[in-house]
Structure 1
């Protein structure tokens, strides 16, 4: 689906970003939503992502989820129509992601100063920014040490941080999970929103406040509670 989507949007490359960014962001959201709907139809995946719909009614937030698995960005994008991401520089040339990410206005982390400048400008303009404050998938319990990038961008853009808690019953696609190894199905995901955090103070203090919210959470291996809860929905 991503490969076909990339091919379909290639004719938009010569046009200015303002022409196609919102359209491609919406298209990415719908592709992700269709994928998860198909997974549910075949009994592979059960998701409760409805809390994310609230983000569509807000403007200009830095959205900061925990990051248990490789699939996390797609979970969020499937419900949020207008959102940009901070992406790894090497993904710019990725066959499945590169063209769509560029046309959607995603921000590369290849050059730090340019990344910060572009991200701040886009959030100021009303886009939501998806940024994982751990910087990589979780390897510590409950979360890795947070970086200050999210708090810095939110402070400079004069917007709030929005905590997003992603819970799962499976270690599928976590840092140590080989991408070719199938999980025990069904895999379940549930998402909840925290209260917005103002980022006007010292960046290190804001980052600590943010991390403190995640410390008492159990994000992975909620096997029995999530299985029963999400199968019934």
Structure 2
């Protein structure tokens, strides 16, 4: 009985949290960010300020979820995130991974779907913060380079989507291309959640039988120079680096599944 009540409460509380998240996004887009555009004429300065607002909002959202008993979490190696110009790569087991990371990382930038610029709950934040859009074609790499050069901390999920419950980890080559062509070492973040929740294709109301616990491990940087030096071309270096990252993040997946 107690377990059933706990699960029902977490389902209702999860719905409340996501409703609040959506409402907050709309209010920020309608009230806060338009005011910032009027008060701050410099796009770079405005983007940094917008990211601070987003970080504060995401911290509030994470705190709300923890306070209502929806989830718990812990972070290891957080001090490694207290730098500038980081290229942060992470695996992607859950819908709210990006929310956690952007709550943890100062001046965080990320690659987002262009569709988010048209959604009423997200268009305000993503446009005000100057995030990199994934449909910019040849300009995507230049956008990533400009973001890193400006001191932003760029967050990328190499899988491009949430990790499926079944099947192996499949990384796209885009993240490795950014690392190789921009000459940036990688700050890897391994994310686990037990029991699994908010995975690919799972609705928000499909809550697990017990409260999920997230663990974020910020590991030592992965040097990119060895891959650049050992390969005959940047394309081949990116391929080798993608293979390495696949093995690297798959170890975490195998550990959780075991």
| TM-score normalised by L of structure 2 | 0.78
8 A Cα contact 1:171 1:220, kept in partner: no
Q: Does 1:10 align with 2:11?
A: no
Alignment match, 1:130: 155
Q: CA deviation at 1:204?
A: 0.9
Alignment match, 2:21: none
Q: Where do 5+ consecutive residues of structure 2 fail to align?
A: 1-23, 229-236
In structure 2, C-alpha distance between the alignment counterparts of 1:33 and 1:219, rounded to whole Å: 30
Alignment match, 1:165: 190
Report the structure, 1 or 2, having the larger helix content.
2
Structure 1 window deviating more from structure 2 (81-90 vs 144-153): it is 144-153
In structure 2, C-alpha distance between the alignment counterparts of 1:55 and 1:182, rounded to whole Å: 30
Structure 1 window deviating more from structure 2 (136-145 vs 40-49): it is 136-145
In structure 1, C-alpha distance between the alignment counterparts of 2:210 and 2:165, rounded to whole Å: 24
SS in 2 for 1:119: helix
**Superposition pairs for residues 166-185 of structure 1, below 5 Å?**
166-185=191-210
Give the superposed CA RMSD: 2.1
Moved over 6 A (4+): 219-222
Q: Where do 5+ consecutive residues of structure 1 fail to align?
A: 223-233
In structure 1, C-alpha distance between the alignment counterparts of 2:195 and 2:122, rounded to whole Å: 25
Q: CA deviation at 1:217?
A: 1.6
Q: Does 1:78 align with 2:113?
A: no
State which structure, 1 or 2, has the greater radius of gyration over its C-alpha atoms. 2
Structure 1 window deviating more from structure 2 (160-169 vs 177-186): it is 177-186
**Superposition pairs for residues 132-151 of structure 1, below 5 Å?**
132-139=157-164, 144-151=169-176
**For each residue in 1:206-232, what CA deviation from the matched residue of structure 2 results, as whole angstroms up to 9, or x when unmatched?**
12222221222247968xxxxxxxxxx
Structure 1 window deviating more from structure 2 (66-75 vs 106-115): it is 106-115
The verdict on how the C-alpha distance between 1:65 and 1:111 changes in structure 2, with shifts beyond 3 A counting, is same
8 A Cα contact 2:106 2:153, kept in partner: no
